[in-house]
Structure 1
Amino acid sequence: MSRMDGRVPGASEMRSCAAGFVARVTARNRLPLDYSVASLRVVDFLIDGLRKGGAGREQVREMLFGLGAYVGEVLVRRAGAVWVDFDADQREYFGQPVGVRMSDGRVWNPLGKVGNRFELGGPGESLQTFYLTLHGRARGVVA
């Protein structure tokens, strides 16, 4: 996954990637992408729509990247996470260059979770459920 210019952004750029994605998507549609936990249901719905539309992963790569950046930013704003650049072992394990670290030190891969929802679908891959069952989540954080 990458941005339009083909370069994969680092952790320091993910907040702006999420904001740019939200601006682009909400300019065309009235989607409630407000970085709330409830908005993760919208993300689930959008990914399910991409799946039902029959698009291949490569065709929706940029959309999935944007949704992953958005999910990660929800974790940052609502769960006390921070964006981090993965080390070599984490990159190999997660298949992504960036993710989030929770206040308890656990790392999560929101870009990969979005990809899993697209590939596998179903309630077991819900991003809202992922957030609600997330270990290491701080309560009541708004950044």
Structure 2
Amino acid sequence: MTTQQETRPSAATKPVRWAADAVATLREGARVRLDYSAQSLWRVDRMIDEIRREGAPYAAVESVLRGLGAYAGEVVVRQTGAEWWAGGGDHWVRTPDGKLWDPIDEARRCFAGDGSLRLLCRDATGSGPGPGSV
């Protein structure tokens, strides 16, 4: 990668704000409380699915998806001690095991019907059965 990586706090500034904005917007507008727990991501996945089923155009929900993805990233950061990383305008979460996760893109994948912020968090935190487990 040719772009220099930035670590917290500078790389965290935008995603932390996006997450906080999403939490505040949902609390005030939809009366939905998000508490930065892994369990809250079930609700987030369902909300994204409902938005998709209502047929909202991507352009109309792009910033909401970015905020919900950042929220999921903050859940991972808070549970694992991970850090936000940034480069080239993109933001990722780097867990202590060195893996990079892209929760903002995962939110977009959820909207496309092919992703789950809950499962991303489960995999990133190492809680629950791993991929391929029964």
Q: TM-score, normalised by structure 2?
A: 0.78
CA contact (8 A) 1:32 1:42 kept: no
Moved over 6 A (4+): none
Counterpart of 1:33 in structure 2 is: 34
Give per-residue Cα distances to partners, 1:29-52, cap 9 Å, x unaligned.
Answer: 221310000000011011001110
Instruction: Show CA shifts across 1:44-86 (max 9, x none).
Output: 0110011101012111111111111111111111122111113
Matched, 1:132 2:122: yes
Match of 2:84 in 1: 83
Identity over aligned residues, as a percent? 36
For the residue of structure 2 that corresponds to 1:84, the secondary structure is strand
Give 1:138 deviation, angstroms. 7.1
Q: CA RMSD in A?
A: 2.0
Letter in 2 for 1:84: W
TM-score by length of 1: 0.74
Gap runs ≥5 in structure 1: 1-8
Shift of 1:10: 4.7
Query: Is the CA contact 1:11–1:99 (under 8 Å) kept in the aligned structure 2?
Result: no
Name the SS of the counterpart of 1:103 in structure 2.
coil
CA contact (8 A) 1:79 1:102 kept: yes
C-alpha distance in 2, partners of 1:132/1:97?
22
Distance 1:116 1:127 in 2: 9
Q: CA deviation at 1:126?
A: 2.1
Where 1:120 maps in the other structure, the secondary structure is: coil
Partners of 2:51 and 2:97 lie apart in 1 by 34
Contact 2:103/2:120, CA 8 A, preserved across alignment: no
Unaligned runs of 5+ in 2: 1-9, 128-134
| Corresponding position of 1:70 | 71
1:48 partner letter:
D
- Residue in 2 that maps onto 1:114: 107
The answer to whether structure 1 residue 98 and structure 2 residue 91 are counterparts is: yes
